[in-house]
Every structure is written in structure tokens, then in C-alpha cells.
Amino acid sequence: LALCCLLFIQMDSLTKLCVFIVSVKMAVQRENISDLTTERKILIKERKMMEVQSQDNDKEVSLLPAFTSYLMEPGCYTCPDDWILFRQKCYLFYDEPAPWKTWEQSRRFCQKNSSDLVVIDDLQEQKFISKHIKYYHSEHNGYWLGLQNVNYNWTWLDGRIDTLGFWAKDLPYTPGSKVRVLPERNPTNSWKQGMTGFLNKFICESDARKIPPY
């Protein structure tokens, strides 16, 4: 009987030990399952992020031809060194020291550089020019324009009769058949006629070169 009791006690202890071992294993398995679930969630999140990044990259690639096309649209033009680009035109503001040039000399200089004295089309262009000319020597000196008196009409070199009339009305009258623009004045009050032999700086204008597509 004592032996049976001893065996019963040992079996009970063994059962408890087995139950403990099983519970530990189950706890470990649950922890492993939890870790795997967490890792799976992380992998799913990373995959979604990669898919979004891939979509963004695809969008950028798809937009590249359109962007390249935009760069090649009208408006992409270039000018020679020392010339300034404005509205598909190139401008050279002659700024060398004296002696300067007569109207005819100025025009020949421009023509040798594949251009001509500037022809002003509107107030916006006039403001652009006024912004880039500088005072020099005296208040009477300016920059020759491609504007002259032809048959009693102020006529641009392209044949158009002037309709802008940005004359410096507050200055005394001076004779002459050529026109210069004076710096440091209101753009709408800055033209002055002068004799063709008067020495001034000048402005050349030419068509800008369009950048060819790739």
C-alpha cells in the first residue's frame, strides 16, 4: 500500500511537471506567433510603402516626357554672351567708354553683329529698356534707338510709324532726326530727338535663337 501511495505521488508530480512543460511550450509558441504576426504586419507595411514609392516613380517617369516637351516649347531661347534675353529677343546695351558713336555708326555696329538698333513695340519693352540703361557723361546723353524722322513721321526701322510717343516733354526742344532714350527718367517721358552726328551709346536688338529639342 505504501508503495502504491508513493507511485501515485510520483505520477501526480510527473503529471504536474508535464502540464508545466506543456504550458511553457504553449506560452513560447504564443510569443513566437505574436512575433511572427508583428513581423508580418511590418512586412505588409513596408510592402505598401514600396508600392506607393513605385507608383510615385512611375508618375515621375510618365511626367518626364511632358516636362521635356515643356522645356522645348516656345519660350526656351538663348542669346550670345553679354546680350540680355527678353520676350524671344536679344538686347545688347552698348556700354563702352568714349568715344561713343553716331546714329549711323551705331546702326552699322549692330548690323555687323546680326542685329539692328532696337525697335520698341510697347510700354513693357520700354520699361525693360529703361531698367537696363545707365546715366553717363551728362543728362543729354542717352542710347540711340531705331527711330528716326522719315518724311515728317517718326518711323521705326521696321517701317512702322511710332504711336507710343514716350517723349521727354519737360526738356527744351533740340533739333534732329534721330531718337535716343535717356536714362534715369520715367519710361513714358524719356525719348529725345538729336542730330545724327551726336555721339551716344546705343541698343542693338536681334531675334533670340530657339533651343532645339533633344
Q: Which residues contact 201 (CB under 8 A, 6 or more apart)?
A: 93, 94, 95, 96, 100, 101, 133, 136, 141, 142, 143, 144
Contact 72, 211 (CB under 8 A): yes
Report the C-alpha gap between 176 and 178 in whole angstroms.
Answer: 6
Q: Which residue has the higher pLDDT, 69 or 89?
A: 89
20 pLDDT more than 80? no
Q: Map grid coordinates 504536474 to a residue.
A: 16
Examine the pLDDT at 13 and tell me if it is beyond 80: no
pTM: 0.66
Question: How far is C-alpha 113 from the chain's CA centre?
Answer: 27
Please give the residue that has the higher pLDDT: either 30 or 70.
30
Band the pLDDT of 44: cuts 50, 70, 90.
confident
Q: What is the pLDDT of residues 198-211, one digit of tens each?
A: 999 999 999 999 98
CATH number among 3.90.1150.10, 3.10.100.10, 3.50.40.10, 3.40.80.10, domain 78-209: 3.10.100.10
Domain residue extents for the chain? 1-73, 78-209
